[in-house]
Structure 1
Amino acid sequence: GRPGVREVLFNVARAGIRFNPVLKIFDERQITENRRPGRVALTAVMRKTLVILNAMARDDQPWRYAAPS
């Protein structure tokens, strides 16, 4: 992908893992249950973040926390 977009997503994903419980749990699950290396798990968080942002833009809705199941 484009380097600028990838860099921003990388930084957003790292911050999300630290401060967003949904992304933190997702990252931990990628590493423990799916046995992904840390960098691969981070890439999965980057993609999940992009999917969430795209859905928010598509639906014109703000972020809503939903407890992970």
Structure 2
Amino acid sequence: MPGWDDNSLGYHSDNGKFFCHLNMTGIAFESNNLIKKGAALYPCVGFSMLQKSGIGGSAEINFGHRMLKYESITNFDI
């Protein structure tokens, strides 16, 4: 799973906390211990299914071919 396996980084939501880097230029980047690792971002989604309960999940990914449902604020909105 991304973020759990060696040599991988990932957002996980099992503890209810969320951390992100905010860059007002619109460039997303990853880091390890606040050391910038580069500008490339390779999307990856991982799921774990509980075998006995059959609980799973789904994801919808938008790489810009549709309008976003969420409108973020900009510097002009503040």
* TM-score interval, normalised by the smaller of the two chains: under 0.3
* Structure with the larger strand share: 2
Question: Looking at both structures, which has the greater relative contact order when contacts are Cα pairs under 8 Å and sequence separation is at least 6?
Answer: 1
Bigger CA radius of gyration = 2
TM-score by length of 1: 0.22
TM-score by length of 2: 0.21
* Structure with the larger helix share: 1
